[in-house]
Amino acid sequence: MRTNNKTRAPGRFLLAAVVECVLFIGAVALAGSAQAAEEQAGGGLGSDWMATRANTDVTNKASLQRGARNFANYCLGCHSLKYERWSRLAKDLEIPDDLLQKDLLPPGDKPAQYILTSMPAADAEAWFGKTPPDLSLIARSRGKDYVYQFLTTFYVDPTRQTGANNLRLPATAMPAVLSELEGLKRAVYKNEERRASDGSVTTEQVFDHFEPIAPGRMSTAEYEAFVRDTVNFLDYVGEPTQVARRSLGVWVVLFLLVFTWLAWLMKKEYWKDVH
């Protein structure tokens, strides 16, 4: 019995599309893994510091818990998370109530309250020249890589009032609050000649690498892991439901694929006498 190729073409097309999607997703995952391995092997920050990536994973509960601890210990004194409640954080990160009260919750705060700094805005502006921003959406507005690069590119600058500057945000008002962990380093620049369109040549200083001055409590790898956990936590705070959203999205795509297959079968049944 001869099969009609016209009626089987949509099925073959759908199967080919699904296979191509699976292969594409696999290739992207392998490329991401290779890039992460290459970055971890490279270590340090040189002239290509803007290429560094956060490489975070919001499904890693242990990392998020460490990031919450880091934020409470080093960031909450100046910065707030005004869209996140302590109770929501404890539920999502599976933090027991006793540990929340003991290690994270500021004295006097209740779990139902939002995560707010105790620093008065007027004092912050007087001390730093501006009020420290709320960090609820910093990972979404600036990107995870931006936050990671910002926290890893502080360097000693005697010309600044705080004694520190930053490559990612030059002339930042924020002091190097993590210098006790990372240590102190200076930025080393090199001269590069730039030729303009009119043929004139100018010389400008370009960042080359960091030079250690004094060690911190952590090694380079430990500090980068510390920053990565902190950025991961801020990524979670920017959208606490993102894991559930992505999980639901997979089921939605699968439903659409199955629905498309059923619709094709119905079309085949209705048009079987026409072909």
- What does the DSSP assignment read for the chain? ----HHHHHHHHHHHHHHHHHHHHHHHHHHHHHHHHHHHHHH-S-BTTGGG------TT-HHHHHHHHHHHHHHTTTT--EEEEEHHHHHHHTT--HHHIIIIISPTT--TTSEE---S-HHHHHHHHSSPPPP-TTHHHHT-HHHHHHHHH-EEE-TTSTTSEEESSSTT-SS--TTHHHHEEEEEEEEEEEEE-TTS-EEEEEEEEEEEEEEE-SS-HHHHHHHHHHHHHHHHHHH-TTHHHHHHHHHHHHHHHHHHHHHHHHHHHHHTTTT-
| Residues 79 and 183 placed together within one structural domain of the fold | yes
Q: Tell me which of 45 and 180 has the higher pLDDT.
A: 180
| Residues 199 and 254 placed together within one structural domain of the fold | no
| Residues 124 and 173 placed together within one structural domain of the fold | yes
Mean pLDDT in residue range 71-79: 95
The domain of 266 spans 242-270
| Residues 129 and 249 placed together within one structural domain of the fold | no
In this structure, what CATH number is given to the domain that contains residue 211? 1.10.760.10
| Residues 162 and 248 placed together within one structural domain of the fold | no
Segment among 128-132, 214-218, 268-272 with least mean pLDDT: 268-272
| Residues 247 and 226 placed together within one structural domain of the fold | no
| Residues 202 and 100 placed together within one structural domain of the fold | yes
Give residue 44's pLDDT: 58
248 confidence band (pLDDT: 50, 70, 90): confident
Does residue 67 lie in a domain region?
yes
Does residue 28 lie in a domain region?
no
Does residue 8 lie in a domain region?
no
Give residue 64's pLDDT: 96
Q: How far apart are CA 63 and CA 211, in angstroms?
A: 29
| Residues 116 and 133 placed together within one structural domain of the fold | yes
| Residues 215 and 259 placed together within one structural domain of the fold | no
- pLDDT surpassing 50 at residue 41: no
What pTM did the predictor assign? Answer: 0.75
Does residue 10 lie in a domain region?
no
| Residues 162 and 253 placed together within one structural domain of the fold | no
Q: What is the mean pLDDT of the chain?
A: 84
Does residue 25 lie in a domain region?
no
Q: Is the dihedral of CA 89, 91, 92, 98 positive or negative?
A: positive
Question: CA 222, 224, 229 angle in degrees (round to 5)?
Answer: 95
Contacts of 233 (CB under 8 A, 6+ apart): 63, 64, 66, 67, 68, 70, 71
Give residue 195's pLDDT: 81
| Residues 247 and 196 placed together within one structural domain of the fold | no
Does residue 30 lie in a domain region?
no
Does residue 185 lie in a domain region?
yes
- pLDDT surpassing 60 at residue 40: no
- The percent of residues above 90 in pLDDT, for the chain, comes to 58
Does residue 132 lie in a domain region?
yes
Number of domains in the chain: 2
47 confidence band (pLDDT: 50, 70, 90): confident
Q: Is the dihedral of CA 36, 39, 43, 48 positive or negative?
A: negative
| Residues 247 and 200 placed together within one structural domain of the fold | no
